[in-house]
Structure 1
Amino acid sequence: MSKEWKIGIAVALVLVSLLFLVLALPVNLPGIGYDMQKVVRDQWGIKFRFGLDIKGGVQITLEAVPYENQTLTQDDVNQLKTVLENRINTLGLGEIKLYDDPGDWKRVVVEVPADVLSEKGLDAQGVVDFLGKPAKLEFVAPDGTVVLTGADLKSAYVTTDQSGLPAVGLEFTSAGSEKFYDATSKWVGQAITIKLDGEVISDPTVQEAISGGKASITGNFTSSEAKQLAALLQGGALPTQVKVSALRNVGPSVGSQALQAMEYAGVVAAILIVFYMIFNYGVLGALSTVSLIAFIILDAAIYIGLFKAVLSMSGIGGFILTLGMAIDSNIIFYERFMEELKKGKTPLRSVQDAFMHTFNTIIDSNVSVIVVSLILFYLGAPTLRGFAITLGLGGVLNILLLWLVAEPIISSFVASRAKRTEVQA
């Protein structure tokens, strides 16, 4: 790929990302249509969300209560926690803390950021209602027999019906698929009632035997209701009943003042870094700021837009860490370039050799960071996921921007400078 194509792709990515960030700002900007901002924020989900540590939220303590004739055990509480985590993850409630209450083994504590609540259109009671639903799914035949339950469900997802209205798609396990085929074969022309926690949510008439292990629940669902129902079914039924032991608002542990102080520190640090790069590497150091600016814009846009993640202190910490790694990558490249020049090579040849020798090293170091971030994301606590995303994303961008921005810009600059020197000579 030519240098011009690389730079063109990088410029296009940065401009699109910058536009998304501007439209995602939580203020109405003059000269930009509010409708466009509203579409980006509400429909595309590109908006700034702050975590519990920055803007506060609610804390809910749920206590496991046994069903009739059930003896409550620690395994039941552990399974309850797993189901609650599944529901939270399926609904996309990012940066939620869920942990055991150290004072009572039967209790689980849930902390939800205020921005997540407002985005999902929920209040504290709405979260309680969502997490506390038993979610006992049953397919009941005309003779009253339960032919399938939630245990036969493999996955649930949002889809649309024949009229384009929101619906919930169901996919059964292999055993569930056989049961569903047998039931629909037996009751053609009659209704199989779908119940959730004993309430009828759909009452479709069987037109023909259905194979393939898939079905759908239709009704007058809104998009939000379909998402919540799919999340409930995907998360599974609660192994115990739950009751609310405590419900209270939680203030930010860090607060907006600390966030402003960190933003100020970040601006000062960025200015010092630019001066350092220019002082040590001259014009090449100034050119490196282009790559760093592109890194900041792309990292923020992808984190907010693609991952729709919440900005918590851990996420911001991961961003700052990878920004430092981006600076290190540029310094490694420039130092190798200076070494190649000292060997008597031409500037253009020095750039090419420096890139060839340092690129693999930079890839190795960043791939290691990406692997660590994946481990943190899948095995770490929910509060570490923001850090894991920014850490891994920064590693990918460090590799990409060195190839797309730093190397072609410096090569073009050195080549043009060499041509001017030849003309003057």
Structure 2
Amino acid sequence: MLNRYPLWKYLMLVVALLIGLLYALPNLYGEDPAVQITGARGIAASESTLIQVQNVLQEQQITSKSLALESGAILARFSTPDIQLRVREALVNALGEKYVVALNLAPATPNWLRMLRAEPMKLGLDLRGGVHFLMEVDMETALGKLQEQTMDSLRSDLREKGIPYATVRKADDNTVEIRFRDAATRNDAISYLTTRHRDLVFNASGDNLMRAMMSAERLREAREYAVQQNINILRNRVNQLGVAEPLVQRQGADRIVVELPGIQDTARAKEILGATATLEFRLVNSSADVTAAANGRVPVDSEVKNMRDGTPVVLYKRVILTGDHITDSTSGADEYGRPQVNISLDSAGGNAMSNFTKDSIGKPMATLFVEYKDSGKKDATSGRSILEKHEEVINVATIQSRLGNSFRITGIDNPNEARQLSLLLRAGALIAPIQIVEERTIGPTLGMQNITQGLEACLWGLVASIVFMVVFYKGFGVIATTALVANLVLIVGVMSLLPGATLTMPGIAGIVLTLAVAVDANVLINERIKEEFRNGRTVQQAIHEGYKGAFSSIVDANLTTMITAVILYAVGTGSIKGFAITTAIGVATSMFTAIVGTRAIVNLVYGGKRVNKLSI
């Protein structure tokens, strides 16, 4: 029979609409201003921390909407941003540096929706607010590391060949100077090293001095590598630390733009991004007098570092291995239940560790934890923040056997710190420190203004389409507007369901555009029905032929739009991708509602009935 759907099609349509409505609902509840308390350097928030927070709130006579401890973090919700700011200031003073107190926006979704894993759409920086950083890679440090690697490599090559040298030191312009006992030895060294180091330019200077300078191509590659690796590492770090939908991209020669939607506290963002945690493995100088070294009498080839308890340790300057070679790290417990971090190295790192430890069995090796932190001071010339290098020995262990691509480090205070160190090492050690040259906080008020304006545009577009359809197509226009509203619900529901979808201002523009053109399919169908009716078809035949004849045109039109959206997503970045996502989802849902949805309503109203006139 014409214009009748089987029961399963009606059920499919109802289920799809109910699912879309269910997952669109969380977006109506908005977000609460919140304060999040997490531990710094792996210290987890506990019940005692929660009691401390409650006491602070009572002293300030502030009532929270909710206060909960989950997964080692405390989340306190409040009614207004003013209260949120007051609480943050009070908690920072009360908790000290052991905890990070961050401003946040927490979804106000009811528990019954959370149990169904229904969450609101992720909003971009322009809608939700958040922090924007412009970061600059410290090229001097990156090239300094490369210079040190060059020095170590040249020393090793000269020792291997048996060419004696007096001193090796750094010079200006990323140059290494090596002094020999005479000119003949110097010339032998130049002849030997030139064939082994194609990226270095060797020059004789004076009677017995050799200068090794990195080529322009090598310096360019080093700068490019430092920026690209830092971008990849920052992306991994932010993703692993749970920041949703970050934007990390290059700007210019040595700068990186980072945007973190939803984070209002720049201190918390700096905690995430600025952690330049890495490891250095060095041999302990057991023959040195620790007391004398602590008083300034340090051997030329060594330097003094401190354990966490302040105990000095004399380490050789030569670095056996750095965190650059770490490919994976996991936290766990040793056979005595003490926290440890399991390290996996790449092939080059594994070979270096193996070659060194085979001749050093029985000798103590130290694990040096290195961080670069903002000193709070500014450079007088450039105005940039001055970074300070913080180092501490977290472990000294005797090499019991030859080590390879995997080993473990112990001496860590607690399991949480082991997890934090493991995470940072797994995400990668920054090739060079980064300095924040610009930071902006986009508040939730501006984001709310953007959302309001976007919703108004969406509403007026919807109203205009509804008025047009009702005036021109009467009853069929009302059916089309029902599908239009269902289409909007489905777009929001699908956007909320997709884990990688983020709504931005361009995304709202995509939704408005989709709603504006969503009625095109119904216009084609209605005009085709009117044409068939004028050609003498019965009502049932006109409806059937109208939907059948318009189907191919609707598919062709929407398919070309979908192809364009896919290309925009593939080659675009940031806001372009947001527009492409909402457009593609809107095209898919509009086809479903325009073809299947309106047909179901028309079949219910007109299907199987004797009708002589259509309201169209």
Match of 2:234 among 67, 84, 87: 84
Q: 1:375 to 1:335 in 2, by over 3 A?
A: same
Q: What is the letter of the counterpart of residue 254 of structure 2?
A: K
Q: What is the letter of the counterpart of residue 16 of structure 1?
A: I
Mapped pair 1:69 → 2:149: no
Larger deviation: 52-61 or 315-324?
52-61
Could you tell me how far 1:250 is from its partner in structure 2? 3.3
Q: Measure, in 1, the Cα distance between the counterparts of 2:269 and 2:517.
A: 39
Mapped pair 1:371 → 2:563: yes
Larger Rg: 2
Q: Measure, in 2, the Cα distance between the counterparts of 1:196 and 1:359.
A: 65
Mapped pair 1:26 → 2:218: no
Mapped pair 1:321 → 2:321: no
Normalised by the length of structure 2, the TM-score is 0.49
The answer to whether the 8 A contact 2:129-2:443 is kept is yes
Mapped pair 1:130 → 2:267: no
Identity level (%)? 24
1:279-294 to 2 correspondences below 5 Å: 279-294=471-486
User: 1:398: which partner in 2?
Assistant: 590
User: 2:125: which partner in 1?
Assistant: 52
Mapped pair 1:386 → 2:390: no
User: 1:190: which partner in 2?
Assistant: none
Consecutive unaligned residues of structure 2, counting only runs of 5 or more, are 33-106, 147-173, 175-218, 283-318, 334-341, 355-365, 371-390, 396-405, 407-413
Could you tell me how far 1:303 is from its partner in structure 2? 0.7
Could you tell me how far 1:329 is from its partner in structure 2? 1.3
Q: Measure, in 1, the Cα distance between the counterparts of 2:493 and 2:597.
A: 18
Could you tell me how far 1:417 is from its partner in structure 2? 4.2
The answer to whether the 8 A contact 1:83-1:237 is kept is yes
The answer to whether the 8 A contact 2:23-2:496 is kept is no
Consecutive unaligned residues of structure 1, counting only runs of 5 or more, are 29-33, 162-169, 183-192, 203-212, 214-218
Could you tell me how far 1:109 is from its partner in structure 2? 2.7
Mapped pair 1:348 → 2:527: no
The answer to whether the 8 A contact 2:369-2:392 is kept is yes
Give SS of 1:249's match: strand
Q: Measure, in 1, the Cα distance between the counterparts of 2:475 and 2:128.
A: 42
User: 1:206: which partner in 2?
Assistant: none
Whose helix proportion is higher, 1 or 2? 1
Per-residue CA deviations over 1:298-357 (Å, capped at 9, x if unaligned) read 101111232464332111011111112211111111112212222222222222222222
Mapped pair 1:107 → 2:255: yes
The answer to whether the 8 A contact 1:377-1:384 is kept is yes
Per-residue CA deviations over 1:352-407 (Å, capped at 9, x if unaligned) read 22222222222222222223222322321123222121011112112222343122
Q: Measure, in 2, the Cα distance between the counterparts of 1:51 and 1:87.
A: 19
Give SS of 2:257's match: strand
The answer to whether the 8 A contact 1:295-1:397 is kept is yes
Per-residue CA deviations over 1:160-186 (Å, capped at 9, x if unaligned) read 99xxxxxxxx9x99979x99xx9xxxx
The answer to whether the 8 A contact 1:152-1:175 is kept is no
Q: 1:59 to 1:275 in 2, by over 3 A?
A: closer
Per-residue CA deviations over 1:192-225 (Å, capped at 9, x if unaligned) read x9999799999xxxxxxxxxx9xxxxx9569xx9
The answer to whether the 8 A contact 1:318-1:387 is kept is yes
Could you tell me how far 1:46 is from its partner in structure 2? 0.8
Could you tell me how far 1:78 is from its partner in structure 2? 3.8
Q: Measure, in 2, the Cα distance between the counterparts of 1:156 and 1:295.
A: 46
The answer to whether the 8 A contact 2:558-2:587 is kept is yes
The answer to whether the 8 A contact 2:135-2:434 is kept is yes
Could you tell me how far 1:237 is from its partner in structure 2? 4.3
Mapped pair 1:8 → 2:11: yes
The answer to whether the 8 A contact 2:30-2:108 is kept is no
Larger deviation: 352-361 or 312-321?
352-361
Q: Measure, in 1, the Cα distance between the counterparts of 2:31 and 2:445.
A: 24
User: 2:213: which partner in 1?
Assistant: none
1:182-331 to 2 correspondences below 5 Å: 220=415, 236-251=428-443, 256-257=448-449, 259-307=451-499, 309-331=501-523
Give SS of 2:558's match: helix
The answer to whether the 8 A contact 1:366-1:398 is kept is no
Could you tell me how far 1:266 is from its partner in structure 2? 3.1
Task: Point out which structure has higher relative CO (alpha carbons under 8 A, 6+ apart).
Answer: 1
Give SS of 1:285's match: helix
Q: Measure, in 1, the Cα distance between the counterparts of 2:422 and 2:450.
A: 38
Could you tell me how far 1:268 is from its partner in structure 2? 3.5
Q: Measure, in 2, the Cα distance between the counterparts of 1:367 and 1:173.
A: 48
Q: Number of residue pairs matched?
A: 374
User: 1:31: which partner in 2?
Assistant: none
The answer to whether the 8 A contact 1:95-1:385 is kept is no
Whose strand proportion is higher, 1 or 2? 2
The answer to whether the 8 A contact 2:324-2:428 is kept is yes
The answer to whether the 8 A contact 2:278-2:322 is kept is no
The answer to whether the 8 A contact 1:53-1:252 is kept is no
Q: 1:227 to 1:299 in 2, by over 3 A?
A: farther
Q: What is the letter of the counterpart of residue 26 of structure 1?
A: G
Q: 1:265 to 1:320 in 2, by over 3 A?
A: closer
Q: 1:236 to 1:352 in 2, by over 3 A?
A: farther
Q: 1:109 to 1:347 in 2, by over 3 A?
A: same
User: 1:408: which partner in 2?
Assistant: 600
The answer to whether the 8 A contact 1:50-1:311 is kept is yes
Q: What is the letter of the counterpart of residue 96 of structure 1?
A: L
Match of 1:37 among 110, 114, 120: 110
Q: 1:266 to 1:246 in 2, by over 3 A?
A: closer
Q: Measure, in 2, the Cα distance between the counterparts of 1:267 and 1:319.
A: 11
Larger deviation: 403-412 or 389-398?
403-412
Could you tell me how far 1:234 is from its partner in structure 2? 7.0
Q: What is the letter of the counterpart of residue 51 of structure 1?
A: G
User: 2:307: which partner in 1?
Assistant: none
Give SS of 1:69's match: helix
Q: Measure, in 2, the Cα distance between the counterparts of 1:329 and 1:228.
A: 56
Q: What is the letter of the counterpart of residue 131 of structure 1?
A: L
Give SS of 1:345's match: coil
Give SS of 2:145's match: coil
Q: Measure, in 1, the Cα distance between the counterparts of 2:320 and 2:230.
A: 24
Normalised by the length of structure 1, the TM-score is 0.68
Q: 1:407 to 1:81 in 2, by over 3 A?
A: same
Q: 1:227 to 1:297 in 2, by over 3 A?
A: farther
